[in-house]
Amino acid sequence: MGAGASDKQYTAFQTHIPENTRTKPMDKDSNPLTHFNTAGEAHMVDVGDKPVTQRLAVAEGRISMQPETLQLILSGQHGKGDVLGIARIAGIMAAKKTADLIPLCHPLAITKVAVDLQPDEQNHAITCQATVHTSGQTGVEMEALTAVQIALLTVYDMCKAVDRGMVMGDIRLLEKRGGKSGEWVRS
């Protein structure tokens, strides 16, 4: 290792799928995981027969950082530019590219994406909330969640030179509307 390099060793994760949990043929009616066919293989769900409805999803997450990092972002003194403005655009772009990133997501005609980044000075964090709309046959939950995560990753990327210890978390769906399952709101 080079001078000043850490001697800490990180363990590589090993993946072992026990024989009794590998995909098996299953009855279509007893399978709540719609991304698997009756043979237990991953597939893209056919939404062609579903009615077109107004769909909405709201997701949220946060990134925590050193107080000095947050002040650098808020003061506009960050050398890379408007951190929150760039993160907002990154989140919007991510929502539109979700089907390119998540293998079994459908490409959707998104009608609106709103990404809001709010500083929380008391907790030295930034909260991101993304709202995605479409009129379609499948929901936009994945698009909202992807928007949040990419917006937060953009904040990390732009600030990592001054604070590599930032932590992203609490990423979750807050609400979804439309489709057969109707409305769901996190309690």
User: How far apart (Å, rounded) are the C-alpha atoms in residues 67 and 2?
Assistant: 30
DSSP lists the bridge partners of residue 176 as 57, 184
Q: Judge whether 49 counts as a catalytic residue.
A: no
Q: Which of 162-180 are b and which e, b meaning 16 or more Cβ less than 10 Å from the residue's Cβ?
A: ebeebebeeeebbbbbbbe
Task: Check if the beta carbon of residue 156 is closer than 8 Å to that of residue 73.
Answer: no
Task: Check if the beta carbon of residue 166 is closer than 8 Å to that of residue 69.
Answer: yes
Q: Give the tokens for residue 134.
A: 């479409």
Task: Check if the beta carbon of residue 70 is closer than 8 Å to that of residue 119.
Answer: yes
> Which candidate in 49, 157, 163, 170 is catalytic?
157
Q: Which residues are catalytic?
A: 157
